[in-house]
Chains A and B, each alone.
Chain A
Amino acid sequence: MRADDPNLKRIRPVELSLADRFFLPAIAVGLGVTARHIAGVMFGGKAITVQYPEDQHVPSPNYRGVHRLNRDEEGRVKCVACMLCATACPAHCIDIVGATAPEAWPDREKYPESFVIDELRCIYCGMCEEACPVEAIELTGLYDLTGLSREQMIFDKAKLLSVFDATREQEPMRYGRPPADPPTLHTTALPAQGPGPK
């Protein structure tokens, strides 16, 4: 676009008055806002921060935290090892080894022999959850994810299933069906000596 383009709309800066140029009234207004918030926190109970870890933060229902691998009604892993999550994953943090399902499982042909997510590599975008055709992988509201080593943060199938066991009651089928009232989530730290690779 050229400088003399007729479509250009010229905007002039606002002329400041003498009071504006002293800035003192604006500073007073700003201090007023601060004072109102101080009063709100001290007397009105309007604080938006929490005293973590004594007080636990409750994330919104669509918060994307640690993954879980869902179980079906019989307690078997729901995953069918189609590897669509691994395909969709932009961080390439999911590693699945598929195998032919045991004869005793007539309803499916394939299951994951190993299912590993590198939680440090993951960017928690939720694409795996979206790609999953059988609603087997979900992101829970667990956010206080810690570990003492990189290896501890690589979650294997048993650990991902244990996340499901720990969050089954609080978050029944989060995806697509939000609960009527926001769940009160009591997060508990994952076992330090988890079943993940040492």
Chain B
Amino acid sequence: MATIIINNVEYPIPEGEKLNAIQMAQRVGVEIPYYCWHPALSVVANCRMCEIEVGAKDPKTGEIKLLPKLVPGCQTPAKDLTVLVTNSAKVKEHQRMVMEYLLLNHPLDCPVCDQAGECGLQDYSFHHGQSVHRFVEERSVNPRKEVSDGIQLNTDRCIMCTRCVRFTREITRTGELQVTRRGSHAEIDIFPGLPVENPLAANVVDICPVGALLDKDFLHKQRAWFLSKHDAVCTGCATGCNVSAEENRGALWRYKPRHNPHVNDFWICDEGRYSYKAANKPDLLGAMYLKTGNDHKKATTGEALRVVADRLRETVAAGGKIAGVLSPFLTVEEAYLLGRYLKALNPANVLAMGPIPTRGADQTFTPDPIEGRTGDASFVVCRPFKIRAEKAPNRLGVAAVLEHLEGKVHSFEALLDRVKGGEFRALYAASSAVEPWIDQAESDAIRAKLDFVVVQDSILTPLAQAADVVLAGATFAEKAGGYVNADGRLQYSAASLPPREGSLPDLDLAAILLDRPGNPVRSSEVLAEMAAEIPAFATAHGGKLPEYGVLLAGVDHAPAGPFPPPFVDSWFVAQGAARAR
């Protein structure tokens, strides 16, 4: 077995992966500081921060020979019998010198810089730098500029790692950014009149290790250490990108991508990134409503649910059938509990998939191992990133639930036609869509044919205005549960906000209607039940999903190769006092 020697300790090299020294050291818990290297981008080795002592061990004599000069760790492959020394005095002195050099022109404006708290310069300056500044000349001052409508570039804070330049060349392959001028005058810039406007543009803000590229949407609003991070899944489209939903004081402030090699690699699209705003809207449903006469009156959750349960039971007792609409915005657990409730009332009740919003066409970004690459891309695993036209997070999950409960998946349109044909007496529509999903005419047409309508939603739609009972459900940010993405991957999304005043998460509403013992209900318990009962969900055995999610059973989609542990830029964690908060 191939082994590598890091700081005098021998470690096995994982097979089937091509790692560089930084990655290999990270796997075994040794940190090599770096700025310009990123696992999805080519190696340019221009920050010089990761330079370490590299050598080789003679397999026969056991003699270790180190190269006389330091070598960048990002460029050094982890090969059999390679020797890495990361903690020698020579390396430490080099790191101190590089830090001093990088900070020559860097302004000391951490208090007003948005990156403070998650900044590579701050952390490495603390760990590897020095507190004194020997540079006595004037610092060069570069103007603040805009590289697009949403992204600001503070050139004085830039350390010229060129991660952003490589991102636009290698991942989006649009190449808007480049380095202009040379030496101490070098600057990141755009071509005149050609801003960074691609669907993944704001990712350059995430990969910037310092506060040079800033998202104007978040600019000066919060400090990084005030935000609590929740591991969520973006509900903007069927890709189901893994995001960190960052919350403070009952509002979401931003989404940041989390690494998932099966889904989104390191990126999220701008549309998904700013989709968090829907959770902060002031006009979300803030109470349960009962229709009395021609008006809706606020009701407590208990009253509203009692009316729903009683009226639906009466409908069934009178021989009527109930139509159920389960939106693709519901989590699999919610769809399962609600579906089970409606089917338990009367097995003849019909469940259908809610409307699936689509917009535009699928858009795929395919990084190439050679084309577009600026430097050595031999350590990069190229993974495509797809923005789906299907703007719902859980079509496949709800479909799997419906197939189990109903036998087949009825479309929303087909169900509407049957409602208009007068087949049903009552309608139970559950949705968590962020945009109105039914128009006035459609709503009027079906309302006339029904005795009793329940709408469970987080926004006000025309159908809610005509409904007998309106149940205020949770938005995507307020609910926890599993979503199945377009590849059939079931992923867990944690709740990032508490339920709004007057609302209750859809899973709890369903659990109360089902009269489930042991409330309050937990999504993991429901998922465990589903795994035992529905063959498609058998892979979610136990209800606890692994970090990267699981494929539903029967999805013939073998994972391509071994997957590394999740990559987090080593500074992208709160440090010091910020960590304790």
Contact = CB atoms under 8 A, between A and B. Distances in A.
A172 interface: no
Nearest to B249: A95
Contact of A82 (B111, B144, B577, B581): B111
B577 A81 contact: no
Contacts of A100: 219-220
Contacts of A109: 109, 112, 144, 220
Contact of A80 (B112, B221, B577, B581): B112
Contact of B220 (A81, A87, A134): A81
B220 A99 contact: yes
B214 to A, nearest CB: 10
Tier of interface size on chain B: 10 to 19
Tier of interface size on chain A: 10 to 19
Given A80-B112, A134-B111, A110 B577 contact: no
Contacts of B144: 109
Contacts, number: 31
Given A108-B112, A133-B111, A87 B219 contact: no
A98 B218 CA distance: 11
A84 B223 CA distance: 9
A32 to B, nearest CB: 55
B112 A81 contact: yes
B223 A80 contact: no
Interface string B198-226: 00000000000000000000011101011
Interface in B246-284: none
A128 B578 CA distance: 16
A69 interface: no
Contacts of B111: 80, 82, 84, 133-134
A81 B220 CA distance: 9
B112 A82 contact: yes
A142 interface: no
Contact of A87 (B109, B112, B221, B223): B223
Contacts of B578: 87
B117 to A, nearest CB: 9
A87 B577 CA distance: 9
Contacts of B220: 81, 98-100, 109-110
A108 B225 CA distance: 22
A69 B226 CA distance: 23
Nearest to B581: A87
Nearest to A100: B220
Contacts of A98: 220-221
Interface of B: 109, 111-112, 116, 144, 219-221, 223, 225-226, 577-578, 581
27 contacts: A80-B111, A80-B112, A81-B112, A81-B220, A82-B111, A82-B223, A83-B223, A83-B226, A84-B111, A87-B223, A87-B226, A87-B577, A87-B578, A87-B581, A98-B220, A98-B221, A99-B220, A100-B219, A100-B220, A108-B112, A109-B112, A109-B144, A109-B220, A110-B112, A110-B220, A133-B111, A134-B111
Q: Which 3 A-B pairs have the closest CB atoms?
A: A82-B111, A110-B112, A133-B111
